[in-house]
Structure 1
Amino acid sequence: MNPLQNLLDPAILFFVFGVVAGLLRSNLEVPPQIARFLSLYLLMSVGLKGGFSLAHSGLGADVLGSLGAALLLALLVPALGYLLLRKWLSRFDAAAVAATYGSVSATTFIAASQYLAQLQVPFGGHMAVALVLMESPAILMAMALAAWARRQQASEQGGSVASTPGLGAQAPAPSHWHVVREAFTDGANLLLLGSLLIGWATGDQGKLMMEPFSGALFKGMLALFLLDLGLLVARQLPALRQVHPALIGYGIVGPLTHGLIAMGLAAMLSLPVGDTILLVVLAASSSYIVVPAVLRHAMPEAQPGLYLGLSLGVTFVFNILIGIPLYAWVVQRVWS
C-alpha cells in the first residue's frame, strides 16, 4: 500500500475533518462522556485482541525481546530528549517535554494496529504489553530530573525554593511513591492490561463471544474518536504560536529519530516486521493524556501548554497523517 493511501482511510479523514471544523470555530463537539466511553472502548478492544493473539503465540524469544527493547526505549528516549531540549528550555520544561516524548500514545498505537490489519501484516498481541510498559518509566525519569532541578535551583539561590516565579507559593511536590502509584494505577493502563489478560485467558472461545463488540464496531468507533481528537488538536494549535521554531522541528524530527533507534534495536533482535513497526510507532509517539495529567501536579513549574501543544498539535498530527504509513513502508522495505 502506498503510504499516501492512508489519507483515504475514513477514520483518518474524520480526524482531518475535526481539525478543519475546529479551526472554523464550529460548535460541533463530541460530548465529554461520549469521548471518554470511546477511549475506554478502544483500549478494551485493543487489549482483548492482544490477549487473543498472545494466547496463540505464547511467550517466546521474540516476545521477550520486544518487551526488553520497549523498556530500554522508555528510558533512553527521555534521557536523550532532556539533553537536547536543555538548549532551548528550562530544566523543568525540558524534563516535562522529554517525559511526554519518552512515553507513548495509545491512540497512535491503535491507529497503527488498524493500519497493519488493513495491510494484512501480522503482529504479536504482546505489543499491547509493550504499550503499558512504556507508559510509566518516562514519568519516573521526569520526577527524578525535577527533583534534581529543584536541588540545583535551591543551590543557586542559596537555600530552599519556596516559590516559582509566576506560580506564587508552591505546594510540596508529590512523593515518588505517589507518582509511581498514579502511573501504574491509571485507569487507561489498568483497562488495557486487564483486557489483555482476559483475552489471553479466554483465547479462541472468548474471541468468538466478543467478536461483535471488539471486531465489527471497532472502525466506526475509531473514526468518531479521531473526530473528537481533531477538534481537540484545533484548540491546541494557537498555543504553538509562542513556541520556538526549533521545538516545532523537534516535534517531528525527534519522533523520526526515536523510530530509527527502535528500528536499530529491532534489527539487532531480529524481530518480525509487524512487531518492529509497532515498536517504531511506540518509540515515535508521545503522550498527550496520561503524562500531561500527572505532570500538571507533579511538576507545576513546567508549562502545560508547551508539552501538551507539541505532543498533540505537532507529533500526534504528524504520526496520524504521515508517520504511521511512513514507518510501515520503511520497515517493510528494509526487512524485505
Structure 2
Amino acid sequence: MDFLSDFLTLFLAKLQSPTLGFLIGGMVVAAVNSRLTIPDPIYKFIVFMLLLKVGLSGGIAIREANLAEMLLPAAFAMIVGILIVFIGRYTLAKLPNVKTVDAIATAGLFGAVSGSTLAAALTLLETEGIEYEAWAAALYPFMDIPALVTAIVLASIYNNKQKQRRAAEEQLSKQEYLSKQPVASGGYSSGQNVAAGGRPKKQQVERVKVWPIVKESLQGSALSALLLGLALGILTQPESVFESFYEPLFRGLLSILMLVMGMEATARLGELRKVGQWYALYAFVAPLLHGLIAFGFGMIAHVITGFSLGGVVIMAVIAASSSDISGPPTLRAGIPSANPSAYIGSSTAVGTPVALALGIPLYIGLAQALAGG
C-alpha cells in the first residue's frame, strides 16, 4: 500500500509540471478556436535545436562511456521496436473495419520514436533530479529504425500475398469460364499463368529492399539532427557552446514545442473521427502498454548491467512515443496504400498527448517509487 500511495502522489505531481501545462494550454487554445498560430518554420527550427542538443549531450557522454554498458539496452530497444509493430499487426489489424495495411502503418508509427516526447522526458528527469546516462538518448535510432523497417516489410509481405490471392482468383475464374466454352480444332491455351492441372502459377514475390527504408529513416529531419549532434559530441569538443547556448535555451524552446503539439493534437481530432473508434482506443492504450513493456526490459538491464532507473524511464518513454516528424514521410513512401489519416490522426490526436500527459509521469513515478523502495 505504501508503494501504491507513493506512486499515486508522484504521478499526480507530474501532471502539474510546466512542460505538461504548456501542452494542455495548447489543447485549450485550439479547442476555443483561437487564431493563435506558430509558423511551421519556427516549429521545425525548435525541433532541430532540441534534438541537436540531445544529440550533443549524448555524444559527449558516449565519448567517455563504456560502450559495453550500452549493448544490452540497445539490443532491448531494437527488440521493443520490432515487438510493438507485431503487437499492432495482431491486435489492431484484427478489429472490425480496420484495414490491415492501415493497422501495420499505425503500429510502425507507434513503434518509431518522437524526438519532442524524448526531449520532454529528459527535461522532467532533470527537474526531478533523477540521474540517467546521457547516452540513453542514443537509444532513439535503435528503436526507431527497426520499427519502421519491420512495418514496411510486413506491409509489403501482406500486399504481395493479397496480389497473389487476387491473381489466383482471376486465373481460376478465367479457367472456369474457358472450360465452359466449346474447344475449336487447334484450340488455344488458357494462358501462360496456368500451370499443369489447371492451377494458376504462383506470382513472383517482390523482394523488400531494406536499405532504402533505413536510408529514408536516417535522412529524416529528426533523426538526422540527433545523429548530427551525436557525431559532433563524439568527434569534437563542443562543451563550451553546449553549456553557454544549447543548455540555457532547452527548456524555453521545449515549452513552445509543447504548446504547438497541444494545438496540433486538438486540430487532428477531426482526422481521427474519420477512421473510427478502434484507432482511438488503440492510440490510448498502446503508448502506456508499449512503455510498460520497455520499462520491464529496462529493469532487466538495470539488474544485469546497472542501467540507471532514469535510463529505464527514457527507454519506456521512447517506446510510448510515436514519431511525429520523420516517421510519417517514411511510412508514406514505404506503405503508400495506407491511409495517413489513420496513423497520423491516431498518433497526434491521442497517442502523443497520452504519452506526454500520462506516460511520462507514469514511468517517472514508477521509477521513483521503486527507488524509494
- Mark yes or no: TM-score above 0.5: yes
| Number of the residue aligned with 2:110 | 101
Shift of 1:20: 1.4
Structure 1 residues 79 and 209, CA gap change in structure 2 (3 angstroms): same
> Does the CA contact (< 8 Å) of 1:11 and 1:220 recur in 2?
no
2:79 equivalent in structure 1: 72
Give RMSD over aligned pairs: 2.3
Secondary structure of 1:126's counterpart equals: helix
**Partner residue, 2:160:** 151
| 8 Å CA contact 1:139, 1:291 repeated in 2 | yes
Deviation, 1:289, is 2.1
Structure-2 residue corresponding to 1:224:
256
Q: 2:47 aligns with which of 24, 39, 53?
A: 39
- In 1, Cα distance between equivalents of 2:242 and 2:299: 35
Match in the other structure for 2:319:
283
- Per-residue CA deviations over 1:100-130 (Å, capped at 9, x if unaligned) read 1111111111100100001111111222211
Matches within 5 A, 1:91-240: 91-158=100-167, 176-202=210-236, 206-240=238-272
Q: Secondary structure of 2:73's match? A: helix
Deviations 1:176-213 (A, max 9, x none): 4432211122232122112122223445xx32332121
Structure 1: distance between partners of 2:207 and 2:258: 34
The residue type equivalent to 2:24 in the other structure is V
Q: Does structure 1 residue 315 correspond to structure 2 residue 347?
A: no
Structure 2 counterparts to residues 242-321 of structure 1, below 5 A:
242-269=274-301, 270=303, 271-321=307-357
For structure 1, the residue ranges without an aligned partner over 5 or more in a row are 162-171
CA deviation string 1:253-299 (max 9, x = no partner): 22222222212222222232011111111111111221211122221
Task: Please give the secondary structure, in 1, of the residue aligned with 2:336.
Answer: coil
Give the counterpart letter for 1:254 in structure 2.
A
Tell me the amino acid that sits aligned with residue 363 of structure 2.
Y
Provide, for residues 29-82 of structure 1, a one-character-per-residue CA deviation record: whole Å limited to 9, x for no partner: 111111111111011111112223333433242x22211111111111111221
Choose 1 or 2 for highest CA Rg.
Answer: 2
1:156/1:126 CA distance change after superposition, 3 Å: same
| Alignment check: 8 A CA contact 1:104 1:282 kept | yes
Query: Per-residue displacement from partner, 1:122-163 (whole Å, max 9, x unpaired)?
Result: 1112222111222111121122112112222212222699xx
The SS at the match of 2:34 is coil
- Unaligned runs of at least 5 residues, structure 2: 1-8, 171-205
| Aligned residue in 2 for 1:8 | 16
**Identical residues among aligned pairs (%):** 31
What is the DSSP-based 3-state SS (H/G/I as helix, E as strand, rest coil) of the residue aligned with 2:133? coil
Contact 1:173–1:299 at 8 Å: present in 2 too? Answer: no
| Alignment size in residue pairs | 323
| Aligned-partner Cα distance in 2 for 1:232–1:59 | 38
Q: TM-score, normalised by structure 1?
A: 0.89
